[in-house]
Structure 1
Amino acid sequence: MIKGDDTVGDFQQFVTDVTTRLSTMSKGELYVVGDGLDRDSLWLTFLESFPPGTNLRFRERSEYDCSTCRGFVKNFGNVVEIHDGQVRTVWSGVSASDPVFSVVAAAMDEFVGALPLSTIFRSREAQYGTKTTRTLRDGQVEVWHHLYGRVEKRHRTEDVGVARGGFDAAVQVFQRGLAELTQHALDTVVDLIDDNALYRGTEHRRAVTEFRSLQNRWTQAADGRAFVFANAMNPAARLRNTVIGTLVQDLSAGVDLEQAVRSFEVKVAPQNYQRPKALITPAMVKAAMKTIDELGIEESLQRRFARLSDVSVTNVLWVDNDTQSRMKDGIEGLLMQAATTGSSGARLRDAKPEEVPVVTFMKDILPGAASIDLWVANSHEPHFVSLTTGRHPDAPRLFTWDNDFAWSYGGNVTDSIKEKVKRAGGNVTGKVRVSLSWFNHDDLDLHVYEPDGTHIWYREKRNKLDVDMNAGGSFTREPVENVTWAGKVPDGEYRIEVNQYNKRETTGVGFVIETESNGRIEQYRHERAVGHQETVEVGRMTVAGEAITAFRPGKDMQRGSIAKDLWGITTEQFVPVSTVMYSPNYFDDNEVGNRHYFFMLKGCVNDQPTRGIYNEFLRGDLQTHRKVFEVLGDRTKCEPSDDQLSGLGFSSTVRNSVVATVTMTGGRRRLISIQF
């Protein structure tokens, strides 16, 4: 403590300067230095810094007797801020105009500034020190001035240890990330994200790029530890301990790119996710380009949609009468009669078709067919296929068969309800599943009542409802909700309802319910708009032996999905077939790999850029460069064209079926379920 007339210099101004300085610092983050030092050393340094003769009252003593000032110095004396990357103490720049206290402040600033940063500042107390005290001496009241100061509320806490522990842990994570995560690994991950080659990578891009920026600034910082402290609470500083951080760690540690990405995707991907793009490095590109140059196949990489005029008549199993004249080799070799067909509709589809294996269909029925119409269901969307070929007919072949044709399924654009649920992170592998799908920004809610009355909905998910979309925040036009029973499925009758919680749009109305058990999938559609707060009774579902044995739709529900337009085709109806053929790996005398059966449809036009190169098609001497060709296939897609061969394709190795109406040359009509 000091009385105004007992010192040389303006102590009150010194107190004001220190108090103001602390108050200003307190508006930002505060830290402490030398946290392990003896606090008495702060106090002794303060006392000993006064120039000789400046303490008149206590000139015969070596220390002050003021516990108030001592408490301030011990508790606030080693508090610092980080300003423009530099550590600045509470004494920095104090009393620059006073020769006495400038010396004191400078000595304290030098002593404290040399101490290492320790941790964040937190305190249980709002204030240390008292502005003034009074004593009575020789009948006179003496006013004594003291060092004192307050800090903002943000720096106060009842549990100082917890607060400091959390900060110290953040500093450690940030320091390890800066030291262990390489710039090359960070750049690689950003490139993968920008190239859309990393599942759910986009949501992590900001964190990776911000950490990369922090690391660049850290390498240029004059005081690296001060930079770490100042930025430790930035969410990006915790990158090392995030899921995307594990990928950067693996790459930094030299793990193979493919292996590291696969490990990351296992952590974040729903079941059965397959990454759409390969991962390549500059070295892989150079090696592949060397092979491409040596083999002279650069022109072979240029692909387009195949036209009917490209295909030899010998490779067509059946052709519609109206299509014959467009064939490459005319109609020579084909024996068929012109015929007309009547209209095909849902009435035929609802009849009981005769089941015929595809081999029998090709051998005994197709040769005598005058016209064929396929029932194109929404569930066939993954089977939409296009035939492709090279732009340069004389270029060397790329594939393992002796022609330049290939094919591309539209599986990468499938939006079946089950696929939507998988993409949204829902469980599609339970014993029984009920999924809701709709087509606009409305907030529909799925409600399921179990036999005992248990209500499953967004407020009581009961570990069964795992996807709830368009409830708030971002909206999608491919929303789903999903209820799955992974464990015990009680026997009895289940009531299913859909409620319109929030109606937002008047277009894209209606919804579809999909049920699944024992591998059997069924859909039920509601075509009209659902009013605000309206509840629709979807139906009653009977479960026995943990399988759906019956479904009784509500009065406004219809079996089947809502028709939609795909590749110029309207689904959920019969569509005329123009051509039937095997896949190109079975053209001419080729028999390479699995056989596919292609039913090219009239008016079917793939309007999306389509891959013309797939790794599984490549000839043997190109297999070494599979990763590069995977990227080439994605980067050299066939541009859409009106004149193309597209339709439905089915593999001989996958069990499936499609319903067809076949009009025979004699006029007889047959409804056939072709079994693959």
Structure 2
Amino acid sequence: MGGFQQFAADVTTRLSAMSEGELYVVGDGLDRDSLWLTFLESFPAGTNLRFRERSEYDCSTCRGFVKNFGNVVEIHDGRVRTVWSGVSASDPVFSVVAAAMDEFVGTLPLAGIFRSTEAQYGTRTTRALRDGRVEVWHHLHGRVEKRHRTGDVGAARGAFDAAVQVFQRGLAELTLPALDTVVDLIDDDALYRGTEHRRAVTEFRSLRNRWAQAADGRAFVFANAMNPAARFRNTVIGTLVQDLSAGVDLEQAVRSFEVKVAPQNYQRPTALITPAMVKAAMKTIGELGLEESLQRRFARLSDVSVTNVLWVDNDTRSRMKDGIEGLLMQAATTGSAGARLRDAKPEETPVVAFMKDVLPAATSIDLWVAGSHEPNLVSLTTGRHPDAPRLFTWDNDFAWSYRGNVTDSIRERVKRAGGNVTGKLRVSLSWFNHDDLDLHVYEPDGTHIWYQDKRHKLDVDMNAGGGESREPVENVTWTDHLPDGEYRIEVNQFRKRESSGVGFVIETESNGRIEHYRHERAVGQKETVEVGRMTVTGGVITAFRPGEGMRPGSVGKDLWGITTEQFVPVSTIMYSPNHFDDSEVGNRHYFFMLKGCVNDQPTRGIYNEFLRRDLQPHRKVFEVLGDRTKCEPSEDQLSGLGFSSTVRNSVVAKVTMAGGRRRLLSIQF
């Protein structure tokens, strides 16, 4: 076999082997004529004799092959290899040509995928009659396998280019820490249906790790661009990784993800922290020496300095931290002993006036603990190690924890929603999730007040169009004519959206008296609950008969060692710890510690809103720490009722003044 014949056969064999895998082209915008010129000029001097009109290796057939296949490459073991790679021939001339073409083509950048409309370029042999004899000419030639052929080359190359761009952007923009965070969230079951996305995340993470270690990054991208995992950036889970990679807060990023994939009533089951976040937080805790500061307990009266107490009961003074000697109280004034309360209605007193004018001369104080005060139950906490560094923004180690998440009332919710609370009679419905509950009231004559016939009385109707609030209310108020007789109250579940935060509360207000009736179980789709029947006489509620499943909120119940709906003695009155020692850090709370009030539940001693500024970056971890390092119940704790200075509220106090005079006050906050 001649030199060129062997060379052509070797090139054909090489192309055939390459065609078993994917083929690519190099040289974006390459002038194909330059390939042919490079091929011709690669022959050693004197060997490419072009004295004839046509020769074996510079004919139009070979030119067609070189221009169409000369820049075709494969990616083998992460490296680009040309159709000329490894081609050798018995004739050293053609070995030189192959090496020269391999070097030239190998320097060109990857441009795209190879696709062709033609099945073959070049032909093996041609014949010609010369001097009466038939001559056989051998040529470069190659056949395009079916997998590399298409009727629309532009579309095929365009789709591949788009896949490359998506993959490249994903590799460049999606960081390994963000990928690791999402995997941690999935493994901790903190991501909605996360297990469905775990394989996609881990496969892309594997690709990214291999890309970072690849000798030729672009070759790696081309070789893996059609892998389904390469499109990860454009998937819904990929958008979460994008947000985290861009520095979006974890909570916000996950919330955005859940909006895309989770149903409206979805509630995340666990806190959003990852092992990496824990490691970073613990590093800061260790550097600041805060390990002992995380150990919390209920505060005792003996922990509190008398300088931070506004009032203390006589029986309690000796238990104070600084003893009775440190307690400076105004001398009691003489008066008529045994005086009785003369007014059945308490006199309203702003809390500031109460502190200034009443406390100095008070010898005993009892609070009326209403059922509506349940969210106001509060406990004072402190650290187990007094010398440990402080955790909070104020200069002491005390904190507090309410039984409820917020100190608020249904009345205030109605007002914020634009409802009227100043009529002769009010019936308000409050619930705690995105369900669409509807309030129905039937007047004595059968008039039906509901969302389709409001009668100018139903003025608030929330969550009707969608679950926009977790503090929804509906409100019916009678401002003028209020017929006597029996009123029937019902609640209907128009659209059930959630299975958590179930139940509802009905609040009635008549002649200044507020009552609550609670339904604690879930209300099914289209189910109607009869709240009860109330009797109105002379414009005032005179009786209320709750329906089945309704629990009167105004009935006293045992709670934290005390019984609601009755007077309970006060042991100590103080500001919240953020206002101890003349400090004024944030919102002030007024604490009325009650005798016998004992929080019997493990209680948080750490809240993120209390933390020092340098601990705020680790607030996610501290949120979990606060939940898992709760204060265990103790008998000698300081618990009672707390009221925020920024939330309207009131509590009735029975005060015995020096000399025996007794006053009934409604303290206004």
TM-score by length of 1: 0.51
Distance change in 2, residues 1:131/1:228 (3 Å): closer
Match of 1:151, SS state, is helix
1:627 and 2:598 correspond: no
Q: Does the 8 A contact of 2:432 with 2:502 survive in 1? A: no
User: 2:144 — aligned with what?
Assistant: 148
Whether contact under 8 Å (2:391, 2:397) holds in the other structure is no
Q: Which residue of 1 aligns with 2:370?
A: 375
Provide the secondary structure at the position in 2 that maps to 1:465.
coil
Change over 3 Å in CA distance of 1:92–1:149 after alignment to 2: farther
d(CA) in 1 for partners of 2:125, 2:506: 84
Hey, what does 1:527 align to over in structure 2?
A: 520
Q: Unaligned 5+ residue runs, structure 2?
A: 260-271, 333-343, 410-415, 420-428, 439-449, 455-462, 475-490, 508-514, 531-545
How much does 1:92 deviate?
4.9
- Structure 2 residue 399 is the aligned partner of structure 1 residue 407: yes
Distance in 2 between the 1:226 and 1:572 partners?
A: 75
Aligned equivalent of 2:30:
37
CA distance in 2, matches of 1:75, 1:566: 90
Moved more, 212-221 or 662-671: 662-671
Q: Secondary structure at the match of 1:23?
A: coil
**Cα deviation code 1:171-224 (max 9, x no counterpart):** 77468759xx9x9xx79x979x99xxxx99xx9999999999988766654334
Q: Percent identity?
A: 38
Q: Per the alignment, in what secondary structure is the counterpart of residue 19 of structure 2? A: helix
Q: 1:272-283 maps to which residues of 2 (within 5 A)?
A: none
RMSD over aligned Cα atoms: 7.5
* Conserved 8 A contact 1:436-1:446: no
* Alpha-carbon distance in structure 1 between the residues aligned to 2:149 and 2:405: 55
Following TM superposition, by how much is the alpha carbon of 1:34 offset from its aligned partner in structure 2, in angstroms?
0.5
Q: Secondary structure of the residue that 1:226 maps to in structure 2?
A: helix
Residue 622 of structure 1 corresponds to none
Structure 2 residue aligned with 1:70, among 46, 64, 73? 64
Equivalent residue for 2:606?
A: 611
2:16 to 10, 15, 19: 19
- Give the CA deviation at 1:416: 9.6
Cα distance change of structure 1 residues 306 and 49 upon mapping to structure 2, 3 Å threshold: same
Amino acid at match of 1:148: V
The answer on whether the counterparts of 1:85 and 1:227 sit within 8 Å (CA) in structure 2 is yes
The answer on whether the counterparts of 2:590 and 2:644 sit within 8 Å (CA) in structure 1 is yes
In structure 1, what is the equivalent of residue 642 of structure 2?
A: 649
Q: Secondary structure at the match of 2:219?
A: helix
The amino acid that maps onto 1:222 is A
User: Structure 2: how far apart are the matches of 1:160 and 1:399?
Assistant: 62
Rounded to whole Å, the distance in 2 between the matches of 1:308 and 1:113 is: 83
* 1:367, distance to aligned residue in structure 2 (A): 3.5
Cα-to-partner distance string for 1:309-328 (whole Å, 9 max, x where unaligned): 33356755566899788665
Does the 8 A contact of 2:578 with 2:588 survive in 1?
A: yes
Contact 2:27 / 2:71 at 8 angstroms: preserved in 1?
Answer: yes
> Partner amino acid for 1:675?
Q
Distance 1:11 1:261, change over 3 A: closer
Partner SS state of residue 370, structure 2: strand
Residues 509, 528 of structure 1: 8 Å contact kept: no
Aligned-pair CA distance for 1:600: 3.3
1:156 Cα deviation from its structure 2 partner = 7.1
Give the number of the structure whose alpha-carbon radius of gyration is greater.
2
1:90-101 aligned at under 5 Å gives the runs 92=85
Structure 1 spans left out of the alignment, 5+ residues: 249-259, 336-350, 419-428, 439-443, 454-461, 469-479, 485-494, 516-521, 540-553, 617-624
Mark the CA change 1:43 to 1:245 in structure 2 (over 3 Å): closer, same or farther. Answer: same
Count of aligned residue pairs for this structure pair:
526
Q: Cα 1:158–1:60, aligned 2, differ >3 Å: closer, same or farther?
A: closer
Q: SS where residue 641 of structure 1 aligns?
A: coil
How far the C-alpha of 1:590 sits from its partner, in A, is: 4.2
User: Is 1:129 the counterpart of 2:120 in the alignment?
Assistant: yes
Relative distance call for 1:397 and 1:154 in structure 2 (3 A) is same
Report if aligned partners of 2:87, 2:98 keep a CA contact under 8 Å in 1: yes
Aligned with residue 392 of structure 1, among 363, 386, 395: 386
**Deviating more after overlay: 641-650 vs 228-237:** 228-237
- Alpha-carbon distance in 2 for matches of 1:378, 1:75: 85
Which residue number corresponds to residue 300 of structure 2? 307
State the alpha-carbon separation in 2 of the partners of residues 114 and 605 from structure 1.
77
Q: TM-score, normalised by structure 2?
A: 0.52
Amino acid at match of 1:121: I
Counterpart-to-counterpart distance in 2, 1:502 and 1:266: 17
- 1:598 equivalent among 586, 591, 594: 591
Decide which of 564, 582, 592 is 2:574's aligned counterpart: 582
Alignment of 1:128-527 (within 5 A): 128-129=119-120, 146-151=142-147, 159=155, 162-163=158-159, 166-167=162-163, 169-170=165-166, 173=169, 220-227=213-220, 233=230, 235=232, 242-247=242-247, 304-311=297-304, 316=309, 355-359=348-352, 361=354, 363-364=357-358, 367=362, 371-375=366-370, 377=372, 380=375, 384-388=378-382, 391-392=385-386, 404=396, 406-409=398-401, 414=405, 437=432, 446=436, 465=466, 497-500=493-496, 510-512=502-504, 526-527=519-520
> Residues of 2 paired with 1:562 and 1:102: CA distance?
101
Which residue is 2:443 aligned to? none
Q: Is residue 2:106 matched to residue 1:88? A: no
